[in-house]
Amino acid sequence: MPQDIVPLKRALISVSDKTGLTEFAKALDAAGVEILSTGGTAKALRDAGIAVKDVSEVTGFPEMMDGRVKTLHPVVHGGLLALRDDDAHQASAAEHGIGMIDLLVVNLYPFEETVARGGSYEDCVENIDIGGPAMIRAAAKNHAFVGVVVDVEDYDSVLKQLAAQGGTDQAMRKKLAQTAYARTAAYDAAVSNWMAGAVGIETPRRRAFAGTLAQGLRYGENPHQHAAFYTTGEMRPGVASARQWQGKELSYNNINDTDAAFELVAEFDPAEGPACAIIKHANPCGVARADTAAEAYRRAFDCDRTSAFGGIIALNQTLDGDTARAITEIFTEVVIAPDATEEAKEVFAGRKNLRLLTTGGLPDVESAGTSFRQVAGGFLVQSRDNGRIALPELKVVTRRQPTDDEMADLLFAWQVAKHVKSNAIVYAKELATVGIGAGQMSRVDSTRIGRSKAQDMAEALALPLPLTSGSAVASDAFFPFADGVEALADAGAAAVIQPGGSMRDAEVIAAADARGLAMVFTGQRHFRH
C-alpha cells in the first residue's frame, strides 16, 4: 500500500508564470528540499539566491532545439513515474542513476494568452507546451507518491503541509492530481479549438470545452441543485470579467440573467446615445433608447413595471447619479454597465442587496464566437448569433412603405427580438419597447401577450390608448399564417419586420395590405431557445 505522507526531498520546478515563485522556492530550500529547474526558472531562482540544479546536469543532455527538448528524458520521467514500493522499479532507477522526484511544480507555456493577444499562427504553435503536460500527467498518475502543482493558488497549501509534517499527504496529492489533469485537459481543449478555427474546420471530429472555477454558487436554478461558475478565458466584456463593487455574491440565475441583459444592451452603439435593458428570467421586460441614461431607464421601466421588479438592469454607457437614483426607486437585483461614476456608487452604497458590476467596455455583438448547450448524451455547438441587418438589406413587401420613424422603430425592435426567447414578438414605439411576448408555443399567443402587457401599462400610466397603437413590431421568425398579422393589426400596430420565408408569405402580405400595415422582410431569423 502506498504510504500516506511522502517526505519532500526533491522538487522539479519549471514555470512560465513566476508569480510567488521566489517565496515558494525559498521555503522549499529552507526545508532542505533539493530543487531541479530549467531555463528561465533556474535563472530566476539563482538570481534570488536560491540553490538550484539544472535539469541538464541530471539528464546529462543540454537543453536543445530552442528549449523544445529539455525535460523529455527517462531520468526525469523515471523520477516522476517510479513506484516507491516496487522493488523492480527501484532497482531500475538505481541501475540507471534515476533519482526520485517528490514534487513537480509546472505551469504551462502561455498558449491561451498568446491567442488572446492575437498572436500569429507560428507564434501560437511555438507556445504549445510539450514537456510540461507530459511531466504533469506523469506526476499526476503517480500521485500515490508524487505531488504536482500547476496553480500558484496551491503553493501555500503545500508549504503548510511541508512545515507541519515534512511532506504531502495522500488526500492532498489526490486533489492536486485532479487539478493537474483538469489543467492539461483545458490546455489541450484550448489548443484544439484554436487550431480548428485557424485551419477552418467548422465541425471538428472531436470537440472539448474547459473552464476555470470563478466561484462556487450557493445553489443552481433551484435550491436543491449544486452549481458553480466557470470562466473560459474569453476576452469578452461581460459578467465573467466584470468588477463587482457591492452586494452579496451573484447567484446562478443572477449570472445568467446579467449576461443576457448585457449582451442585449450591447446591440446599441453608445456613440448613438444611451440605451437601457431590463431583464427578468433571461427575457427583456423593457428596452429603450433616449437622450439620457435616466430617461432610457424610465422608458424601459414603463414597458412592464410589474416584471421589472427584482430584475437585472444593463446600460450601454456609464451609470450616472441621476440614473442610479431612478433605479433605486424599486428593488433591483443587479446593475451592469461599462462604468459608473462615484456619485452613482454612493447612491447605491446604501442598497446592500443591490449588486453593481462594471465591465470596462461592451462586448462586440458582431464578433465570431461559439456557444454550446448540453443535451442527454452530448452537447450542441453553434457559432454565436452575431447576425445584424442594415437598412439597405431590408425588403419592403407591402404596398405601404414604412415611414422613417417606423423604420427606425422596426430596426430597434428587431435588435431587441434577437434577445427574446422564441416565439418572440416585440412592439416598439419611439425607440422603446411597449409590449413583449416571449417564449410561447404559438406566435399568436406571443402577439396577444405583448398586447395585453401594453394594455395593462396604459391603465397604470393613465394613457388613453395602449402604446401598441401606431407601433412597429418585430417577429423573430416568419408568420406561418395570417392570423398573427391580424392580431398585430388588432393591437394597433402600423408596421412589421419579420424574416419572411413562409409557404404562406403571399397570404400574410395580403393580410398586411388589407389592414394598411407596412411590412419588411429581413431574410434572417433569430430563434432563441
What mean pLDDT do residues 238-266 have? 95
How confident is the model at residue 352, as a pLDDT? 87
Q: Annotated catalytic residue: which of 89, 175, 281, 345?
A: 281
The β-bridge relationship of strands 34-37 and 10-15 is: parallel
pLDDT at position 46 over 70: yes
Q: Where are the alpha helices (DSSP H) in 304-463?
A: 305-308, 321-327, 342-349, 404-417, 443-460
Q: Nearest CA to 522 among 479, 487, 467, 468?
A: 479
- Identify the active-site residue in 18, 26, 89, 141: 141
Q: What is the mean pLDDT of residues 13-20?
A: 91
| 173, 6 Cβ separation under 8 angstroms | yes
Predicted model pTM = 0.84
Sorting pLDDT into bands at 50, 70 and 90, what band is 57? confident
Q: What is the mean pLDDT of the chain?
A: 92
Note every long-range contact of 324-332, with CB atoms under 8 Å and residues 24 or more positions apart, other chains counting.
Answer: 324/348, 326/294, 326/297, 326/298, 327/297, 328/354, 330/301, 330/305
Based on the residue annotation, tell me whether 143 is a catalytic residue of this protein: no
> What is the reported pLDDT for 58?
79
Distance, CA of 413 to CA of 284 (rounded, Å): 12
How many CB atoms neighbour CB 461 within 10 A? 11
Residue 2 confidence (pLDDT) above 60? no
Above 70 in pLDDT, residue 154? Answer: yes
Cell of 465: 390608448
Nearest-angstrom CA–CA distance, 44 and 33: 17
N- to C-terminal Cα distance for the chain? 53
CA distance linking residue 488 with residue 435, whole number of Å: 11
Q: Rounded CA gap, 23 and 28, in Å?
A: 9
The answer, yes or no, to whether the previous bond of 423 is cis (omega within 30 of 0) is yes
Would you state the pLDDT for residue 1?
37
Identify the DSSP state of 211: -
Size of the chain, expressed as the number of residues it contains: 529
Express each pLDDT in 275-296 by its tens digit: 999 999 999 999 999 999 999 9
Amino acid at 364: D
**Distance (Å) of CA 505 to CA 149, 253, 312, 508:** 63, 39, 37, 5
Dist. CA 450–CA 279, nearest whole Å: 15
For 197, the grid coordinates are 478555427
Is residue 63's pLDDT more than 90? no
The number of CA neighbours under 13 Å toward the Cβ of 14 is 25
Catalytic annotation on 18?
A: no
Decide if pLDDT at 64 tops 70: no
Query: In terms of DSSP bridges, do strands 10-15 and 433-437 run parallel, antiparallel, or are they unpaired?
Result: unpaired
Q: Hey, is 180 helix, strand or coil? A: helix
The per-residue pLDDT for 116 is 86
Q: What's the grid cell of residue 116?
A: 488572446
The pLDDT value recorded for residue 232 is 87
Grid cell of 430 as nine digits: 419611439
User: 324 near 218, Cβ under 8 Å?
Assistant: no
Residue 165 has pLDDT above 80, yes or no: yes
Q: Find cell 422582410 and name the residue.
A: 521
- Give 100-114 pLDDT, tens digit per residue: 999 999 999 899 999
Alpha-carbon gap, residue 396 to 522, rounded angstroms: 9
Using only C-alpha atoms, what is the Rg of the chain?
30
Residue 39: pLDDT band with limits 50, 70, 90: confident
Instruction: Pick left, alpha or beta for residue 159 (phi over 0 → left; psi -120 to 50 → alpha; otherwise beta).
Output: alpha
What is the tens place of the pLDDT at every residue in 441-487? 999 999 999 999 999 999 999 899 899 999 999 999 999 999 999 99
Q: Per-residue confidence at 53, pLDDT binned at 50, 70, 90?
A: confident
Beta strands in 218-323 (DSSP E): 227-231, 243-246, 275-280, 283-289, 311-315
Cell 440565475: give the residue: 253
The secondary structure element, H or E, covering residue 482 is none
Q: Given this model, what pLDDT does residue 67 score?
A: 65
CA 277, CA 271: separation in Å to the nearest integer?
17
Does the pLDDT value for residue 89 go beyond 50?
A: yes
3-state secondary structure 78-101: HHHHCCCCCHHHHHHHHHCCCCCC
- Over residues 335-385, the pLDDT tens digits come to 999 999 999 999 999 898 999 999 999 999 999 888 888 899 998 989 899
* pLDDT value of residue 348: 95
- Note whether 155 and 26 are within 8 A (CB): no
pLDDT at residue 3 greater than cutoff 60:
no
pLDDT at residue 54, rounded to an integer? 85
> For 379-404, how does the pLDDT look when each residue is reduced to its tens digit (9 = 90+)?
898 989 999 998 999 999 999 999 99
Q: What is the dihedral of CA 433, 316, 345, 311, to 10 degrees?
A: 40
> Which amino acid is located at 471 in the chain?
S
pLDDT at 309: 94
The whole-number average pLDDT for the span 81-96 is 86
Cα distance between residue 293 and residue 265, in whole Å: 12
- Cell readout for 526 is 433569430
Count of C-beta atoms within a 10 Å radius of residue 124? 18
* Calculated CA dihedral for residues 471, 474, 479, 482, nearest 10 degrees: 0
d(CA 526, CA 499): 9
Q: With contact defined as beta carbons under 8 Å apart, do 354 and 309 qualify?
A: no
Give SS3 for 282.
Answer: coil
Confidence of residue 267 (pLDDT cuts 50, 70, 90): very high
